[in-house]
Amino acid sequence: MNKLLKIGAVTVLLGSILAGCTFGGKTNEAADVKTADTSSAVAVPWIGTKNTTRINTSDPAQAAVLVSQTLWTAQSDGSRPSSVVLTDVANWQIAAAATDLIHHPSNGPVLYFDKDSVPQATLDELKRLNPKGAESNDGIQIVIVGPVSDNVKKQLDDLKMKIDQIAGDDPATVAAAIDTYYAKVAGELPQGVVIGSADSPEYTLPAVNWIAHMPEPLLYVTKDNVPEATAKALEARSGKASIYVLGPESAVSAKVEDALKQYGTVTRISGDDPYENAIAFAKFKDSGNGFGWGITAPGHNFSFVTTDSPALAIAAAPFSHLGKHAPLLFTEKSGMPDSVMNYLMDLMPKFKDSPAEGPYNHAWITGDSSAITAKAQSEIDDMLEISPASGENPHSGH
């Protein structure tokens, strides 16, 4: 059986197993759904291979719900979130900064609303999760981040849950407000800060998986300017901030990097293109304070998306918080760029006597086959497979 047939067989199997996993009790006959009607179900929500699991939709609201269902089973108090972060799917900058609240205080996902309404899939997921209320945050069950319409507010009020809001529509201002909110709830202000470009999601988005996992916030600059809100947030660190600029000078200029030095130590983490930039962030580790993934050896998990859908990348950010914690890597629709392929080759697990020794790699893939093809999923799967240290054929016997 060839690789594509294997994926097809797994799809049919999972389709049978997961036929009852629908949104709002509805079904959709299309096996590969990309639709603005987020009240419809994804017929095959997950597609698995031996080393990968695909969140099988390219609709961001649906993807956020599937990520939530994957990580929070809501079958016990321990598997329910404390709170849920809700934000506008159309504003990637605010949504990305909001992922700082995934770990603390929420231990919960980011879900999406639209400009004028909350998708039925999101409402159903909020009911399924039934957030416990964050003890450190006065029992809040939903944190709205960014602006919200009266109709959205009414739909959420009808849920009879305890709601808080971090208001505002300017990304730099809202990001700074999230930083303040986090510090108040946590009881301390993180000294580490990730600085990203508000204009270049392809270079900034690798930060979301880290801040969903650790306390550092994401604050914004433009290529040549430090917004006042960002400057004030950095000033609150009293010159002791550990500042990590993410992206090359084409996204954040050397002028801005120099301007940031008055607030603390500045380190740039960058690559020449979005693929290499994400790899650089996945590899980086600050030995002085432990900041960064530092992934340079086998035995890890990764989250793959394409560069052209920031909302999908943000929906998948919780994959760095629970389970096999995963940094974000970018891929192309039909296969991995050479830089990503080479990185995974360096991380390929090797066994001496038996593949049962481990370690193993795994990847989450977010997006249907219109975003990342089945062939590309198969390629990622192959590159994560454990192989003999001798270099022999891994399938010729042990």
62 in any annotated domain: no
Which one-letter DSSP state was computed for residue 120?
H
CATH number of 195's domain: 3.40.50
Tokens of 88: 């506008």
Cβ atoms 46, 356 nearer than 8 A: no
Are 31 and 44 within one domain? yes
Do residues 87 and 169 both lie within one domain? yes
| CA distances (Å), origin 134, targets 36, 211, 365 | 32, 19, 30
Residue 145 belongs to some domain of the structure: yes
pLDDT of residue 41: 78
Residue 195 lies in a domain: yes
Cα–Cα distance, 50 to 12 (Å, whole number): 15
Please give the pLDDT value at position 388.
86
> What CATH number does the domain containing 136 carry?
3.40.50.12090
Look at residues 188, 214, 244 and tell me which one is the last residue of a structural domain.
188
Domain match, 96 and 158 both? yes
Residue 296 sits at the vertex; the CA angle it makes with 294 and 297, to the nearest 5 degrees, is: 120
pLDDT score at 31: 33
Same domain, 306 and 343: yes
Claim to verify: residue 224 and residue 129 sit in the same structural domain: no
Structural domain includes residue 5: yes
- Block mean pLDDT (10 aa), the chain, length 398: 42 38 33 38 94 98 98 97 98 98 97 96 98 97 98 98 98 98 97 98 98 97 98 98 98 98 98 98 97 97 97 98 96 98 95 90 98 98 91 57
How many distinct structural domains can be found in the chain? 3
Q: Are both 159 and 260 inside the same structural domain?
A: no
Give the domain range for residue 179.
72-188
- Asked whether the beta carbons of 38 and 120 are under 8 A apart, the reply is yes
